[in-house]
Amino acid sequence: WSRCSRRMMEGEYLIFWWGFQLVLTNSTEVESPTSGFCPYSAVFNAQGYHLFQALRFSIQEINNSSTLLPNITLGYDLFDVCSDIANVYGTLKLLSKCTKSYLEMQNNFTEYKPRAVAVIGPSSSNYAFVSASILGSFLIPQISYSASNEMLSLKQIYPSFLRTIPSDKLQVEVMLRLLQRFNWTWVAIVGSADAYGTQGLQDLYALASSNGICVAYQGIIPASKNKTEIKKIITNIVQTRVKVIVVFSAYTYTTNFFDVVVQLNITDYVWIGSESWSIDTVTASVPNINTIGTVLGVSVTKGNLPGLVDFEIDYIRSVSAGVSSNYGCNQACNVCKTFTMQNMPTVSQFSMSVSFNVYAAVYSIAYSLHELLDCKSGQCKRNTFYPWQLLEQIKKVNFSLYNQSIYFDENGNPATGYDIVMWDWSTGNASFNIIGTFSKNPVSLELKKDVIWFTKDNSIPVSICSEECNKGERRVQLGSYVCCFECIPCPEMTFLNRSDLYTCQQCQLNQWSPALSETCYNRTIEYLSWTDPICVVLLVIITLLLLLIISVLFVFVRNLTTPVVKSAGGKMCLAMLTSLALSCFTLYCYFGKPNSATCMIRQPVFAISFTVCFSCLVVHAFQIVCIFKMAAHLPRVYEIWVKKNGSDIFIFVSSAGQILISVIWIVVKPPQPIEDYSTFQDQIIYKCSETDSVGSFIEIIYIGILSMFCFIFCYMGKDLPENYNEAKCISFSLLVYFFSWIGFFTTYIIYQGKYIAAANVVTILASVFGILVGYFSPKCYIILFRKELNTTEHFQTAIQNYTKKQSEQ
């Protein structure tokens, strides 16, 4: 049959239906005006037959209902959309008025009444583009059951188009989620050479590329049965080394495609099918197709339409028995007469799902008419309406059919989701097992955990271009594909943020990270704390040493006029002890968190106090040498030194020089607390900047020069009287000073952590202790325990012995 009509009676409304090409196998008669429209062949389309029966089944249910449209009868006109000519003809046919066979052109079609109130179909997006654009101008409702192209959702172009099958945009999203779920980032996509396949391929490519999935190859399955072209496509796919292939194709193309796949012995691949062929029994019947690997598919949620099979059986029985059809469709009856109970087409899972979409489309119109015609009271009260009014009502419908919600969104798309199917050949023939579902509201993909993969080891196949980088390794892209890369470790002080896999980002200044890190850690703040065990020990030593210096100072003050104190320098000893005590006081500034005051006090005050101490030592050593050696040879010089208070002048000038250096340093670039980030990657060292200052270096050099002069004068006086010979004592103190500071600078070169301040404290303690022990302890010993040696007679005897010895030489 090429066209089938249900004769209209008063109070009836006509539904226009477009379906698959249904072709008679033994009939040579084709009723005009369809003649020449369809390229008939000797193949009967069972799918289209089941959809037509689903239409009849739903209309019969509605017409038999006493509540839905109680005094209204629905009828239909059927056209076989098998060519563009037939498509245009059918569109123009339904636009004609019921009483006329032509379309009246008018300026305003608001009150125009066409032959049919609504259109169901067609099945193909290709044909839907033409009819939907024409019908949209008249706002005649059109509901397709399988035209899924996303372009049909554009309401400014197709304002009256709706559908009961999800759009390909949603199908593409399901495919993307499948690829992401199994981490398949290196894939190939092939599409059929029609609007369905090419648009689906383009949409999936764009979505996959924007979500980190690389499409290694794109191909179009030709419309012709040219196997050479298909072989080229498959060869190119194999060369890319992908293991997952998405076939976004109309079912009419897939048989030839998989024929070639089997012939080329392509095995162990994953094939992801679009809803058009994912549960198509014809494609699944290709010989040896079970060898190609695992076939996953996206299928429209399985519709439950009980009663359809029995309806078809009863219909064939009635036709075979010669019972006249209530619908009076002679040509449809002629088709049915070719069937018997033995050769009746079986309703497959795919046919049942699409048949439910037809069923839902018809009921959408019926429920809309129920509201539009005010049939709530048990009888429809209105008779007159226009197609645009019906369209507005269809957009508002919301009802349930067999536990499925039926309504349309703002783009005319349904709320239907998808099933995820896997082909199973374990029983010999292909069966379609549902392994998951995808829901639209809310959006979610649920998969079963016990999926059996048709691979050699039943494991999830891997399809990637490059292995994932290890933790903390960044990607370096190879070529034009983001999925092909090599891995480079992120160095220290950088981290790899998972949001950018190609860049090792720098940690913040107060953070650190080891190599191969994916995060940064806060640095620990380090300084010489008062509570640190080492600090506690040093503080005790400093305090004891300070008390010892004060005790020695008290002893010297009590014995200031004795020969021992006088020979040691007299009042200069008090200045030396005071400077040593002041040096000890500065050591307290090395503990705790550094601040501006402690940084400016500790180094300059130590340098000045030690300069005073060393200046006194230099003067004392020089005076002894002058008395015993220079007085006789250079009496004039000695006289000037004594009369002009040379010792005091030297101490003042020497100390003033160090003070000047310290003042210039503090004024030009004062020592300040600084945060050292460079010494340790995981620490922030709080310290004073004096160790990095030129002023500090000059101060230390200045003290070093004084110590060298002191050492020279000590060497010159090594043969003086024992009571006046300070060479050994001062030399010992100087050696302690030299070695302690050499040790400090050596430590500073090797280590610059928080304990470098402790090393500085130890160095100063050693310097002070060396002078105290080397120079002052022998004098204290004589004063306290050998008083007989602390007499004028003893010292005069020592001088006489020295003079006698010198005269003998």
Q: Which residue has the tokens 């645009």?
A: 388
**Which of 34-48, 82-96, 223-237, 365-379 shows the lowest mean pLDDT across its residues?**
34-48
Residue 319 lies in a domain: yes
Q: Are 226 and 181 in the same domain?
A: yes
- Predicted confidence at residue 34, as pLDDT, reads 40
Tally of structural domains, the chain: 4
- How confident is residue 101, by pLDDT bands cut at 50, 70 and 90? low
Hey, what's the torsion of the CAs at 564, 656, 645, 722, to 10 degrees? Answer: 30
Q: Which of 461, 489, 522 is the last residue of a domain?
A: 522
Give percent of the chain with pLDDT exceeding 90. 48
- How confident is residue 257, by pLDDT bands cut at 50, 70 and 90? very high
- Predicted confidence at residue 23, as pLDDT, reads 27
- How confident is residue 4, by pLDDT bands cut at 50, 70 and 90? very low
Torsions phi, psi for 63 (to 5 deg):
-70, -25
Torsions phi, psi for 8 (to 5 deg):
-90, 145
Instruction: Give the pLDDT mean for 783-809.
Output: 66
- Distances in whole angstroms, Cα of residue 168 to Cα of each of 4, 84, 107, 202, 746: 31, 23, 36, 11, 75
Please check the confidence at residue 487 and state whether its pLDDT lies above 80. yes
User: What is the total residue count of the chain?
Assistant: 809
Q: Tell me: cis bond preceding 122? Omega within 30 of 0 counts.
A: yes
Please check the confidence at residue 617 and state whether its pLDDT lies above 60. yes
- Predicted confidence at residue 46, as pLDDT, reads 73
For strands 473-477 and 404-407, give the pairing: unpaired
- pLDDT, tens digit, for every residue of 128-139? 898 899 899 889
Q: Which of these, 593, 647, 590, 595, lies nearest to 617 by C-alpha position?
A: 647
- pLDDT, tens digit, for every residue of 677-715? 988 999 999 999 887 788 888 998 999 899 888 888 777
Residue 480 lies in a domain: yes
Residue 618 lies in a domain: yes
Please check the confidence at residue 212 and state whether its pLDDT lies above 80. yes
Q: Which of 462, 488, 522 is the last residue of a domain?
A: 522
Residue 464 lies in a domain: no
- How confident is residue 512, by pLDDT bands cut at 50, 70 and 90? very high
693 three-state secondary structure: coil
Residue 457 lies in a domain: no
DSSP-assigned beta bridge partners for residue 424: 431
Residue 251 lies in a domain: yes
99 contact partners, CB below 8 Å, separation of at least 6: none
Residue 798 lies in a domain: yes
- How confident is residue 426, by pLDDT bands cut at 50, 70 and 90? confident
Please check the confidence at residue 78 and state whether its pLDDT lies above 90. no
Q: Are 506 and 648 in the same domain?
A: no
Q: Which of these, 702, 703, 696, 757, lies nearest to 733 by C-alpha position?
A: 703
- Predicted confidence at residue 42, as pLDDT, reads 45
- Predicted confidence at residue 792, as pLDDT, reads 72
- Predicted confidence at residue 36, as pLDDT, reads 42
Q: Are 681 and 636 in the same domain?
A: yes
Q: Are 593 and 699 in the same domain?
A: yes
Q: Are 241 and 340 in the same domain?
A: no
Q: Are 766 and 583 in contact (CB under 8 A)?
A: no
- Predicted confidence at residue 376, as pLDDT, reads 86
Q: Which of 386, 407, 428 is the last residue of a domain?
A: 407
Q: Which of these, 19, 8, 14, lies nearest to 335 by C-alpha position?
A: 19
- Predicted confidence at residue 2, as pLDDT, reads 30
Please check the confidence at residue 40 and state whether its pLDDT lies above 50. no
Give me the CATH number covering residue 219.
Answer: 3.40.50.2300
- Predicted confidence at residue 337, as pLDDT, reads 52
Query: Distance between alpha carbon 74 and the CA centroid of its chain, in Å?
Result: 57
Please check the confidence at residue 21 and state whether its pLDDT lies above 50. no
DSSP-assigned beta bridge partners for residue 439: 444
- CA–CA distance, 303 with 312 (Å, rounded to integer): 17
8 three-state secondary structure: coil
- Predicted confidence at residue 752, as pLDDT, reads 86
Please check the confidence at residue 388 and state whether its pLDDT lies above 50. yes
Instruction: Give the pLDDT mean for 41-55.
Output: 74
Angle between helices 756-771 and 596-625 (to 10 degrees): 30
This prediction's pTM: 0.63
- Predicted confidence at residue 570, as pLDDT, reads 82
- pLDDT, tens digit, for every residue of 625-684? 666 555 556 666 667 776 777 888 889 999 999 999 999 999 998 899 999 998 899 999
Residue 466 lies in a domain: no
**Which of 3-7, 153-157, 389-393, 758-762 shows the lowest mean pLDDT across its residues?**
3-7
Domain that holds residue 518: 473-522
- Predicted confidence at residue 41, as pLDDT, reads 46
- pLDDT, tens digit, for every residue of 540-577? 999 999 999 999 999 999 988 888 888 778 888 999 99
Q: Are 296 and 355 in the same domain?
A: no
Give percent of the chain with pLDDT exceeding 70. 83
Q: Are 422 and 491 in the same domain?
A: no
Instruction: Give the pLDDT mean for 727-756.
Output: 88
- Predicted confidence at residue 124, as pLDDT, reads 83
Q: Tell me: cis bond preceding 563? Omega within 30 of 0 counts.
A: no
DSSP codes joined into one string, 43-66: ---HHHHHHHHHHHHHHHHHHH-S
Please check the confidence at residue 463 and state whether its pLDDT lies above 50. yes
- Predicted confidence at residue 31, as pLDDT, reads 34
Q: Are 352 and 320 in the same domain?
A: yes
- Distances in whole angstroms, Cα of residue 32 to Cα of each of 1, 35, 639: 11, 5, 150
Query: How does the average pLDDT of the chain come out, rounded?
Result: 83
Please check the confidence at residue 339 and state whether its pLDDT lies above 60. no
Q: Are 535 and 528 in contact (CB under 8 A)?
A: yes
Q: Are 551 and 696 in the same domain?
A: yes
Q: Are 274 and 325 in the same domain?
A: no
- Predicted confidence at residue 234, as pLDDT, reads 96
Q: Are 218 and 99 in the same domain?
A: no
Q: Are 9 and 153 in the same domain?
A: yes
330 three-state secondary structure: helix
- Predicted confidence at residue 637, as pLDDT, reads 65
- CA–CA distance, 228 with 458 (Å, rounded to integer): 33
